[in-house]
Amino acid sequence: QRICTLRGCCWSPMSDISVPWCFFSSNHGYKVDGSIRSTEKGFETTLTRLPSPSLFGDDINTVLLTGECQTSNRFRFKITDPKKPRFEVPHQHVRPFSGSAASNLNYKV
């Protein structure tokens, strides 16, 4: 039995314990708008918000998804507002990735 709330969260108990019981329906969130562009480190694409209830309000309608295949075991993604820069907390131990996209990946994006 599947139960969905007005905010789009669904609940469906499964016999498989590796499948989450709580999830959002497929018409909730964002979708790729246009093409997925290859970059030296991975890819980037524009995402457009689907018309669905907002969980927190003040949603951004168009965002930029950037993915970096940094190593065969490490994938980094970043979601930003392409129209309005926001402050990012600097971290002394996290440096920008300067290499090229890795090959022989142990993951699928």
Looking at residue 35, its pLDDT comes to: 95
Residue 12 in domain: no
Looking at residue 82, its pLDDT comes to: 93
CA geometry: angle 70, 74, 76, nearest 5 deg = 70
Distance CA 64, CA 51 (A): 18
Prediction pTM value:
0.74
Residue 40 domain boundaries: 28-80
Residue 60 in domain: yes
Residue 92 in domain: no
Residue 54 in domain: yes
Residue 2 in domain: no
Residue 7 in domain: no
Residue 56 in domain: yes
Residue 33, token pair as written in the block: 């708008």
Intervals of the chain under pLDDT 50? none
- Residue 95 φ/ψ, nearest 5 degrees: -105, 155
Count of domains forming the chain: 1
Q: Which helix (H) or strand (E) holds 47?
A: strand 42-49
Residue 73 in domain: yes
